[in-house]
Structure 1
Amino acid sequence: MSRGEAGARPPPFLGHDGAITLLAALAVAALSLGMGPLAAALAVRRTARDAPLAPAAEPARILVLGHRLEAGRPSAAFVARLARALDLARAHPGAQVLVLGGATSPGAPAEAEIGRAWLLAHGLPAGRIGVETTSRHTLENLRHHRAAGHGPGVEALVTSRLHLHRALLMARGLGLAPLPVAAEPALPRAPLRLAAEGFMVLWYLTGRWLARALRRRAWLARIG
């Protein structure tokens, strides 16, 4: 990375297009009398309930989505993802583990670096761990991973059960085809998180539809 790139200001977290699509999603939720978010939440729950604990094929790479840190340490959700990835890495010794996630607040360490340290502390060799440290949310995680061009081979995507549906939608929108793997052994009872994920899925789908309807190439390049 050049000095100019290193000092460049990152794009806004939400941005102009993000604000527009958020308002559109809120309008869809209101006009559908809540049925839009409800349908999305039910889809999230189905994916979460049915998600496997291992990929359906031998993976070349195991992608671990980061999670917001707690006082510079991995959260319980992040530890569950890392532990699942570690189990998969031991079961598939030829696979590389890629931890995705940057800093989500000024001065904080990158999620991926903290995840890498956790994996190292639990015995995974350094040569098997890669990191992506510039993304701030799921869509950037996947977009930056795609841009890195890791080559052919099956990829397993490890994240929390209630996060899987949205992560898979975004990955497929970007032309990726990862195999889902759930971090937790069973579907958690978390109705507020489920409702929040349902709205996030509705927001993503509304934004993608709006970008295509308006033929906004810049939006489509970011969201697929």
Structure 2
Amino acid sequence: MSRATEGVTGRPPPFLGHDGAITLLTALAVAGLTLGLAPFVATRAVARTARQAPLRPAMVPARILVLGHRLEAGEVSAVFAARLGRALTLARAAPDAQVLVLGGQTSPGAPSEAEVGRDWLVARGLDPARIGTETRSRHTLENLAHHRDGGGGGAHEALVTSRAHLHRAVLMARGLGLAPMAVAAEDTPVATRLGLVAEGFMVHWYVTGRWLSRLLRRRAWLQRIGGA
């Protein structure tokens, strides 16, 4: 379902969607045909980024983006707390920077990740006037697409997320025309081998989907995933 359809019906597009299902099946087929080599290469890239990710941006940021994480009983998870804690450290070091917390509802009736994240930051002394929220997103790609569509981007944006998540997040951001400075949430890598493999497959799926969209000249698919 396209954004135009969303505007007419008032409903968000499906979480996966027709194109997502097709690209997922293609990614699985490519993984099988390459005897697992394609997702293995992606996993190596994820692990390398996780290992080398910096704890501060190369330049003083004008805006600090914090990617949300699924809440636990309506509260900030340990993973999300690490991301918010890093953003708080950056915000204190750059008092003119704005902070944007990204993340919608992941459970019916629950508050959005962004709202809970904002409250976490305010409770630790960050001026609420410095904090913005994006509350419609259900996953990383929507986080970044909604930020871009809302006028985000430009120079000197820092993107804070977990080390294992950084490679995919930055890849998607660049596909959408954004150019954030990656910043790791954790001081040191903490992802398990299984977690890295899962992230590697997600990266493989994204890259396969972008390649297939270009091959089939599916502009709507490319607009959705970035890379148009």
TM above 0.5, yes or no, is yes
71, 74, 82: which one aligns with 1:72: 74
126, 135, 138: which one aligns with 1:136: 138
1:29–1:152 Cα change, 3 Å:
closer
Question: Quick one: which amino acid aligns to residue 21 of structure 2?
Answer: A
Q: Which residue is equivalent to 1:216?
A: 218
Other structure's SS at 2:173 match: helix
Question: Quick one: which amino acid aligns to residue 199 of structure 1?
Answer: F
1:19–1:65 Cα change, 3 Å:
same
Deviation at 1:108, TM superposition (A): 1.6
The yes-or-no answer on 1:162 pairing with 2:164 is yes
Q: Which residue is equivalent to 1:8?
A: 10
Question: Quick one: which amino acid aligns to residue 190 of structure 1?
Answer: T
Q: Which residue is equivalent to 1:148?
A: 150
Q: Which residue is equivalent to 1:44?
A: 46
Please give the residue correspondences for 1:9-24 in structure 2 after superposition, counting only pairs within 5 Å. 9-24=11-26
The whole-number CA distance in structure 1 between the counterparts of 2:225 and 2:8 is: 24
Q: Tell me the number of residue pairs that the alignment of Structure 1 and Structure 2 aligns.
A: 221
1:134–1:6 Cα change, 3 Å:
farther
118, 121, 124: which one aligns with 2:123: 121
1:73–1:202 Cα change, 3 Å:
same
The whole-number CA distance in structure 2 between the counterparts of 1:150 and 1:20 is: 30
Other structure's SS at 1:166 match: helix
Identify unmatched segments of 5+ residues in structure 2.
1-5
Question: Quick one: which amino acid aligns to residue 193 of structure 1?
Answer: G
The whole-number CA distance in structure 1 between the counterparts of 2:110 and 2:8 is: 17
Question: Quick one: which amino acid aligns to residue 106 of structure 2?
Answer: T
Other structure's SS at 2:133 match: strand
Other structure's SS at 1:117 match: helix
The whole-number CA distance in structure 1 between the counterparts of 2:18 and 2:9 is: 22
Q: RMSD of the TM alignment (CA)?
A: 1.4
1:5–1:189 Cα change, 3 Å:
closer
Other structure's SS at 1:153 match: coil
Q: Which residue is equivalent to 2:202?
A: 200
Please give the residue correspondences for 1:172-187 in structure 2 after superposition, counting only pairs within 5 Å. 172-187=174-189
The whole-number CA distance in structure 2 between the counterparts of 1:5 and 1:17 is: 19
The whole-number CA distance in structure 2 between the counterparts of 1:172 and 1:122 is: 32
Q: Which residue is equivalent to 2:3?
A: none
Question: Quick one: which amino acid aligns to residue 39 of structure 1?
Answer: V
Q: Which residue is equivalent to 1:60?
A: 62
1:143–1:26 Cα change, 3 Å:
same
Other structure's SS at 1:42 match: helix
Q: Which deviates the most, 47-56 or 4-13?
A: 4-13
Q: Does structure 1 retain, via aligned residues, the 8 Å contact 2:40–2:200?
A: yes
Q: Deviations over 1:80-106 (max 9, x none)?
A: 000000000000001000000000122
The whole-number CA distance in structure 1 between the counterparts of 2:9 and 2:191 is: 43
Deviation at 1:189, TM superposition (A): 4.4
Q: Does structure 1 retain, via aligned residues, the 8 Å contact 2:63–2:97?
A: yes
Identity rate of aligned residues, in percent? 71
Deviation at 1:58, TM superposition (A): 1.1
The whole-number CA distance in structure 2 between the counterparts of 1:10 and 1:51 is: 34
Other structure's SS at 2:14 match: coil
1:151–1:22 Cα change, 3 Å:
closer
